[in-house]
Amino acid sequence: MNASGAGVGTGAVDELPGELLMWVLIVSELLVFGAGLAAFLGVRITDPEGFAAARAHLYPALAGINTMVLISSGYLAARSLNLRENARRTAARWHLAAAMGLGVVFLVIKGYEFAQKAGVGISTETHPFFTFYYLLTGFHAAHVVAGIVILGLVAWKDEPRNIETGTAFWHMVDLVWVLLFPVIYLLG
């Protein structure tokens, strides 16, 4: 404690953008996704040919488009903070709305991909590859939905600290996809 009775800063934690509890959530989610990717890679080692054959049923080009969609969305969300800090509140809200819209585009593309797989009878039971595919990308899609809700809330309660906290979560969603995309769609 310092002379005024207030707590002394905790160093690096004080420098985190947004709220500490959001960072606890982000780190825990990254650990869950990391464990899922590690399990995917571990099982893949036991059946590389089967995983390669199963992966041939995916659409890497669509997943690549989704990657660009999320990266663009992350840029818009990050830009909203700068706009809000410079008293451009309406522009900041439009950027957040556009980021949310791109999140919806991501979900539509992912939904199309899931529907196509289901239409040809590919399920979690088809092959272990698809068990991981549906679990990891489905769990990620749930995070996209949560991120859209969070961005909507911070557009409504658009204090810079709120935007900073909400975009930190959205960037975690981006980061996870940037890791899932090559491992699931491109790894031969």
Residue 76, judged by CB atoms within 10 A of its CB (0-12, 13-18, 19+), counts as buried
* 77 in Cβ contact with 96 (< 8 Å): yes
For 45-91, the pLDDT digits (tens) are 999 999 999 999 999 999 999 999 999 999 999 999 999 999 999 99
Pairwise CA distance, residues 184 & 27, whole Å: 22
Give the pTM: 0.89
Nearest residue to 151 via CA among 97, 86, 70: 97
For residue 170, the one-letter residue type is W
Q: Which of 40, 31, 74 is nearest to 181 (CA)?
A: 40
Give, for all 188 residues of the chain, the pLDDT tens digit.
444 444 455 566 667 677 888 889 999 999 999 999 999 999 999 999 999 999 999 999 999 999 999 999 999 999 999 999 999 999 999 999 999 999 999 999 999 999 999 999 999 999 999 999 999 999 999 999 999 999 999 999 999 999 999 999 999 999 999 999 999 999 86
